[in-house]
Structure 1
Amino acid sequence: MYLTKSDIENLERKKRLNIINSVSGIKPANLIATKSKNGQTNVAIFSSVFHLGSNPALLGFIMRPAGEVPRHTYGNIKETGFYTVNHVPITIVDRAHYSSAKVDRSISEFERCGLTEEYANGFHAPFVKECHVKIGLSLVEEIPIAVNNTIMIIGQIEELIIPDRAVDEKGYIDLSLFNTAGISGLNNYYSLKREASFPYARPDEIPDFGT
């Protein structure tokens, strides 16, 4: 499946809601990729991507305090306004994990960690070829969080790349098909398995659980 921003806006409401709610995953392991104006690429792993809304289709993530450590992801997003979020499959968690190392700005983590840049439809920022679910975003807002000096980055989804077989007629995405990884803490990785699926919860349809 490939959807532009216009395609997403024209989807039936419930299908759009289901796709955008599903696309962020559960405590997901994501690679966020950027490219500077002069062509220097950067990719780094994040576990803070979250759903913010389906119309418009928005995702957020949290940037940690910069301090004395340069944040190349943040710098490139501010400079160009574009970035991608890529779900990490278990098969590449080792390469994804080491993208968090603080390498020099002149070194691309794509090359250093054995990951492949992939470009689609003229989008400025690279996608990660080894990932299956790929999201292209444009920066719409950043919100400083004073309590811990972090920044909430809010992006609007411009492009979605998802294999057709993973999306059902209602828009639900089966992330278990791609062995999508989850993160606990900073360095513990878990595989994702779909255990159950339930209908929308309505008060008069709550089962008798024997309580």
Structure 2
Amino acid sequence: MHLDSASLDAMPSRERAALVNSLSGFKSANLVGTADADGRCNVAIMSSVVHLGSHPPLLALVVRPGGEERHTLDNLLRSGHYSINHVAVDMVDAAHQTAARYPRDISEFEATGLTPEWWEGFNAPLVAEAHVQIAMQLREHQKLAINGTHLVIGEVVQAEIPNGCVNEDGSLNLTEAGTVALTGLDSYHRADLMKRMAYAKPDLPPRTLS
């Protein structure tokens, strides 16, 4: 099947959204936790976290268009704090349910059975059930002119990682951590390790690490 701009534009909107959401391949599945000024908690599943740099440790998050009706965006812009929590195999059902459009006065934590966890000095809830938890400080926010989406850039200020899930080179073993991957809007996948490759050099062939 070959698609061009005209055929994409002619597709029913929901089908087009499902297809284009899948074109980027496997994505990270994360729960983003925030709280408003009154301490009301919000948690929402997102698949747009991107690594921007390691020093300082920066992660980007793309949020769909909207302002106050997007509780996550409104909360993090006001407080400057938000959490990123890996969705694990044993919490997919609850994590996916956070995508439902609950009114502001209903916490997704309570509605889905997830547990907010608070760290000292940090003004956003983390997800207690998540195996990998990351506390983020807002550093930059841009509303993109091309389609009204929001680019949120944050710095990692704290993180909780399971013991035994860090490789010798410092990388995180996502399979051991139980982290799942997401495609499109609703398909979850186990992260099984196929192989690890050595650092690529122009004078050496591809090499598999032992």
TM-score (norm. length: structure 2): 0.83
Q: Does the CA contact (< 8 Å) of 2:47 and 2:182 recur in 1? A: yes
Q: Deviations over 1:69-111 (max 9, x none)?
A: 8100001001100000000012111110010111110010000
Measure how far apart 1:114 and its partner are: 0.6
Match of 2:45 in 1: 45
Q: 1:204 to 1:151 in 2, by over 3 A?
A: same
Letter in 1 for 2:73: Y
Q: Deviations over 1:110-154 (max 9, x none)?
A: 000110011123321111011011110011101221111101100
Flag structure 1 segments of 5+ consecutive residues without an equivalent: 1-25
Letter in 2 for 1:58: L
Match of 1:171 in 2: 170
Q: How does 1:6-25 map to 2 (within 5 A)?
A: none
Identity, in percent, stands at: 43
Flag structure 2 segments of 5+ consecutive residues without an equivalent: 1-25
Letter in 1 for 2:95: A
Q: Say yes or no: does 1:186 pair with 2:185.
A: yes
Structure having the higher Rg: 2
Structure 1 residues 50-59 or 116-125, which shifts more?
116-125
Match of 2:140 in 1: 141
Q: Distance in 2 between matches of 1:136 and 1:99?
A: 19
Q: Distance in 2 between matches of 1:157 and 1:73?
A: 18
Letter in 2 for 1:79: R
- Tell me the secondary structure at the aligned position of residue 198 of structure 2: coil
Measure how far apart 1:48 and its partner are: 0.3
Match of 2:56 in 1: 56
Aligned residues: 182
- Tell me the secondary structure at the aligned position of residue 165 of structure 1: coil
Match of 1:36 in 2: 36
- Tell me the secondary structure at the aligned position of residue 124 of structure 1: coil
Letter in 2 for 1:82: H
TM-score (norm. length: structure 1): 0.83
Q: Distance in 2 between matches of 1:162 and 1:153?
A: 23
- Tell me the secondary structure at the aligned position of residue 104 of structure 1: coil
Structure 1 residues 169-178 or 103-112, which shifts more?
169-178
Q: 1:33 to 1:203 in 2, by over 3 A?
A: same
Structure 1: 4+ residue segments shifted above 3 A: none
Letter in 1 for 2:49: V
What RMSD in Å do the two structures reach over aligned CA positions? 1.5
Match of 1:109 in 2: 108
Q: Say yes or no: does 1:161 pair with 2:160.
A: yes
Q: Distance in 2 between matches of 1:72 and 1:207?
A: 46
Match of 1:100 in 2: 99
